[in-house]
Amino acid sequence: LEKGELDLLDSSPPCQGFSVSGIRNLKDERNDLYLQTKRFIKVLHPKVFIIENVDGIIKGKYKGLFNYYLSELMKLDYKIKWKSMNSLYYGVPQKRQRVFIMGVRNDLGKEPIFPKHDSELVYMDEVINDVDFHSRGQFDKKLKKVTNNFSYTITKTPSMFFVSNGKKRKPRIDELKVLSTFPNSFKLEGSYLQKWGMIGNGVPPKLTERLGETVIKNIFN
């Protein structure tokens, strides 16, 4: 690709240093991989870029670091906006709060724009069967009904469990996939734990799709 030819650069720097479910180490070396994304933007000069991460990056002691990353991105030739988005408002039956930064190259003459909330939401019991309750496990053992409820955030750590007909069990991979809106045909390689980890680290495809559709329609026409 020549500089400026790339339509969209999508980046998800490692979240381990920012996540509220982890140690939250300001000195974690992986935190500064945000600046490697800046390097790619500077070299490739894409029309649009999107950077995704956990919402822990805008909480507490990380606010200053987040503002620093924004200030670095603003040195580039882009209009920039950010938004904290929960996947449950975009066709995903799972609570998953994530922060997205979008940049649109100045010569396009367009503003960054994010998809609107859905008026109708999708609940757990609409996509999985034979499950009565679920718990996130890692932080508490509280049971929550699946009827008219959303899944807890699926994390990389395999802690969530279901209760079916009074018996506690681990979710199947196909159940985790559908709760994250991965199509059943999408193949994951590796062990049960490795597949769980990939789903836990992933951005729900339905949310990604909505972002992509919004960019195509409103920025690329």
Enter the tokens of residue 87: 């996947």
* 13, 15, 171, 204: the active-site residue: 15
Q: Cβ neighbours of residue 129 under 8 Å, at least 6 residues apart?
A: none
User: Which H or E run includes 100?
Assistant: strand 97-105
Residue 141: Cβ-neighbour burial (10 angstroms; 0-12, 13-18, 19+): exposed
Does residue 15 have an active-site annotation?
yes
Burial string for 44-67 (b: 16+ CB within 10 Å, else e) reads ebbbbbbbbbbbbbbeeebeebbe
| Under 8 Å between Cβ of 162 and 143 | no
Instruction: Identify which of 30, 88, 91, 92 has the alpha carbon closest to the alpha carbon of residue 57.
Output: 30
| Integer Cα distance of 150 and 182 in angstroms | 16
The answer to whether 219 touches 113, Cβ cutoff 8 Å, is yes
Cα(211)–Cα(169) distance, rounded to whole angstroms?
34
Active site residues: 15
